């Protein structure tokens, strides 16, 4: 069956020492407190990746990046490639986050290239999709999500797609304290799973981990994660506090 994952997205927070110290706390707490088979991923700024990977002493905690560039290597000052990220020991990379789509003008086409490069370099993409407030209010959200899936990941073969984790993150819920209700989130997650079944087949759809992201916290995580098609979360703000993050992870303790 599909894996439950709780992934933290530190965004552009924490200096080098602060990152190491938070990660050490997380690794120790996971060792002491996590009893299920949920996977914990921490997506840090690139400066932390190698050191965090070295602190990972439990196979329950993995490290991920927040972006890669859409070329293998070359004269792209300031960018980081998939191969470079992989060489730190990181296993995951967030792609298509709404902040990258909005502030860095990342298009579906560019994101498809990034997905290909991630997979080619043995990085597992956590591919983010989700509608803006306007798109929700106009009732366009299913179309928006369908298009993001078609252009970003549905070009993959079934065996490639099996390596993808999806994250539904309604843009209006990110960092706003406004969470999608469990019913709203479940409705979209079920739609995404149906759409995967149409593009591939129902076995592929049932095996895909689909995370919810957007103002997820220790108070609302339990109800969200208990929905049939929600397999975990992508956590921003609450991943910067070890206690909050672990309480979210522990929703899957059985
Ligand atoms: P948030 O961020 O939990 O702070 O809303 C989620 C995300 O951007 O992945």
Q: What are phi and psi of 92, to 5 degrees?
A: -120, 160
- Residue 190: CB atoms within 10 Å: 15
CB of 175 closer than 6 angstroms to any ligand 1 atom? yes
CA distance 80 to 124: 16
- Selecting among 91, 97, 99, 106, the annotated active-site residue is 97
The whole-number pLDDT of residue 126 equals 98
Least confident residue range of 2-6, 172-176, 239-243 = 172-176
pTM for this entry:
0.97
Tokens 């914990």 -> residue: 40
The whole-number pLDDT of residue 60 equals 81
178 pLDDT exceeds 70? yes
59 pLDDT exceeds 80? no
SS3 assignment, position 51: helix
The whole-number pLDDT of residue 177 equals 86
Ligand 1, residues 213, 216, 238: which to mutate, most atoms within 8 A of Cβ?
213
User: What's the mean pLDDT in 204-226?
Assistant: 97
254 pLDDT exceeds 90? no
Q: What stretches of the chain adopt beta strand conformation (E)?
A: 5-9, 39-43, 61-65, 92-95, 124-129, 165-168, 210-213, 232-235
CA distance 124 to 65: 10
Residue 242 contacts residue 218 (beta carbons within 8 Å): no
Tokens 């990972």 -> residue: 56
168 pLDDT exceeds 80? yes
Q: State yes or no: is 53 an active-site residue.
A: no
CA distance 232 to 62: 15
The CATH code of the domain at 5-253 is 3.20.20.70
The whole-number pLDDT of residue 58 equals 62
Residue 152 contacts residue 114 (beta carbons within 8 Å): no
Q: What is the pLDDT of residues 79-119, one digit of tens each?
A: 999 999 999 999 999 999 999 999 999 999 999 999 999 99
CB of 66 closer than 6 angstroms to any ligand 1 atom? no
- Residue 193: CB atoms within 10 Å: 21
CB of 6 closer than 6 angstroms to any ligand 1 atom? no
Q: State yes or no: is 169 an active-site residue.
A: yes
């Amino acid at each position: 069956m599909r894996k439950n994952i709780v992934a933290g997205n530190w965004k552009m927070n924490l200096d080098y020492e602060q990152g190491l110290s938070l990660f050490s706390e997380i690794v120790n707490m996971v060792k002491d407190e996590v009893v299920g088979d949920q996977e914990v991923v921490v997506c840090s700024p690139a400066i932390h990746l190698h050191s965090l990977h070295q602190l990972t002493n439990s196979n329950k905690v993995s490290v991920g990046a927040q972006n890669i560039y859409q070329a293998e290597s070359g004269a792209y000052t300031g960018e980081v490639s998939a191969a470079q990220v992989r060489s730190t020991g990181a296993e995951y990379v967030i792609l298509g986050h709404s902040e990258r789509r909005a502030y860095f003008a990342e298009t579906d086409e560019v994101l498809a290239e990034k997905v290909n490069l991630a997979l080619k370099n043995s990085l597992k993409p956590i591919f983010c999709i989700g509608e803006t407030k306007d798109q929700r209010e106009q009732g366009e959200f299913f179309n928006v999500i369908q298009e993001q899936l078609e252009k970003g990941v549905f070009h993959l073969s079934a065996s490639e797609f099996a390596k993808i984790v999806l994250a539904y993150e309604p843009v209006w819920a990110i960092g706003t304290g406004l969470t999608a209700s469990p019913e709203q989130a479940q409705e979209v997650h079920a739609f995404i799973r149906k759409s995967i079944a149409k593009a591939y087949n129902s076995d592929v759809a049932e095996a895909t981990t689909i995370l919810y992201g957007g103002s997820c916290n220790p108070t609302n995580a339990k109800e969200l994660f208990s929905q049939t098609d929600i397999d975990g979360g992508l956590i921003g703000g609450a991943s910067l506090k070890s206690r909050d993050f672990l309480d979210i992870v522990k929703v899957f303790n059985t």
